[in-house]
Amino acid sequence: MDIEVSRQSISTLPVTSQLLASLRESARLTSTHYSTQIEGNRLTEAEVAEVAKGGTFPNRKRDEAEVKNYFLALDYVEELCRGPFDKFSCEMIQTVHGCVMDGKRKPSPYRDGQNVIRESGSGAIIYMPPEAKDVTSLMEEFVDWINMQRSSTNERAWPPPVVAAIAHYQFATIHPYYDGNGRTARLLTNLILHASGYGLKGIYSLEEYYAQNLDTYYSAISVGESHNYYMGRAEADISAWIEYFNQGMADSFASVRQQAEKLRQQPDQTKLLRELDTRQKSILSAFRESRYLTTQQIANHLGISPRTALNYNQAWVAQGFILQYGERKNRRYELAERWVELL
What are the DSSP calls for 296-319, one per residue? HHHHHHHT--HHHHHHHHHHHHHH
Q: Taking 70 as the threshold, does the pLDDT of residue 291 lie above it? A: yes
Better-predicted residue by pLDDT, 337 or 341: 337
Identify the pLDDT of residue 132. Answer: 97
Band of residue 263 on the pLDDT scale cut at 50, 70, 90:
low
Q: Taking 80 as the threshold, does the pLDDT of residue 3 lie above it? A: yes
Residue 110: CATH number of its domain: 1.10.3290.10
Last residue in a domain, options 223, 239, 265: 265
Residue 331: CATH number of its domain: 1.10.10.10
DSSP 3-state assignment of 33?
A: helix
Q: Are residues 326 and 260 part of one domain?
A: no
Q: Looking at the DSSP assignment, which residues form a beta bridge with residue 323?
A: 334
Q: Are residues 195 and 130 part of one domain?
A: yes
Q: Looking at the DSSP assignment, which residues form a beta bridge with residue 127?
A: 117
Identify the pLDDT of residue 245. Answer: 95
Backbone angles phi, psi at 228, to 5 degrees: -100, 130
Q: Are residues 236 and 167 part of one domain?
A: yes
pLDDT tens-place string over residues 151-182? 888 888 899 999 999 999 999 999 999 999 99
Q: Are residues 307 and 160 part of one domain?
A: no
Q: Taking 90 as the threshold, does the pLDDT of residue 247 lie above it? A: yes
Q: What is the pTM of this model?
A: 0.75
Identify the pLDDT of residue 24. Answer: 84
User: Cα 39 to the chain's mean position, in Å?
Assistant: 12
Identify the pLDDT of residue 83. Answer: 77
Q: Taking 70 as the threshold, does the pLDDT of residue 333 lie above it? A: yes
The pLDDT mean for the chain works out to 89
Q: Taking 90 as the threshold, does the pLDDT of residue 17 lie above it? A: no
The answer to whether residue 325 is domain-embedded is yes
The closest alpha carbon to 130, from 232, 228, 238, 237, belongs to: 228
Window from 135-144, 268-277, 278-287 with minimum mean pLDDT: 268-277
The answer to whether residue 270 is domain-embedded is no
The answer to whether residue 34 is domain-embedded is yes
C-alpha dihedral (12, 13, 17, 23), degrees to nearest 10 = -140
Domain that holds residue 319: 275-340
Identify the pLDDT of residue 220. Answer: 87
Identify the pLDDT of residue 255. Answer: 87
Calpha distance 322→273 (Å, rounded): 15
Q: Are residues 315 and 188 part of one domain?
A: no
Q: Taking 70 as the threshold, does the pLDDT of residue 269 lie above it? A: no
The answer to whether residue 69 is domain-embedded is yes
The answer to whether residue 63 is domain-embedded is yes
pLDDT tens-place string over residues 195-234? 998 988 888 889 989 998 888 888 888 866 667 888 877 7
Identify the pLDDT of residue 288. Answer: 85
Better-predicted residue by pLDDT, 16 or 32: 32
C-alpha dihedral (62, 65, 71, 72), degrees to nearest 10 = -140
Q: Are 197 and 160 in contact (CB under 8 A)?
A: yes
The closest alpha carbon to 131, from 234, 214, 215, belongs to: 234
Window from 1-5, 130-134, 144-148, 328-332 with minimum mean pLDDT: 328-332
Band of residue 336 on the pLDDT scale cut at 50, 70, 90:
very high
Last residue in a domain, options 232, 265, 298: 265
The answer to whether residue 195 is domain-embedded is yes
Q: Are residues 296 and 230 part of one domain?
A: no
* DSSP tag of 128: B
Q: Are residues 108 and 241 part of one domain?
A: yes
Q: Taking 90 as the threshold, does the pLDDT of residue 102 lie above it? A: yes
Q: Are residues 327 and 219 part of one domain?
A: no
Better-predicted residue by pLDDT, 90 or 10: 90
The sign of the CA dihedral 243, 248, 250, 251 is: positive
The answer to whether residue 322 is domain-embedded is yes
The closest alpha carbon to 42, from 58, 26, 25, 23, belongs to: 58
Backbone angles phi, psi at 52, to 5 degrees: -60, -25
By CB atoms closer than 10 A (0-12, 13-18, 19+), residue 113 is: exposed
Identify the pLDDT of residue 14. Answer: 64
The answer to whether residue 217 is domain-embedded is yes
Q: Taking 90 as the threshold, does the pLDDT of residue 259 lie above it? A: no
Last residue in a domain, options 212, 236, 265: 265
pLDDT tens-place string over residues 44-86? 998 999 998 888 898 899 999 999 999 999 999 999 988 777 8
Q: Are residues 299 and 153 part of one domain?
A: no
Q: Are residues 95 and 133 part of one domain?
A: yes
Q: Are residues 283 and 253 part of one domain?
A: no
The closest alpha carbon to 313, from 341, 290, 336, belongs to: 336
Q: Are residues 210 and 142 part of one domain?
A: yes
Band of residue 13 on the pLDDT scale cut at 50, 70, 90:
low
Rg value, the chain, Cα: 22
Domains held by the chain: number: 2
Identify the pLDDT of residue 18. Answer: 62
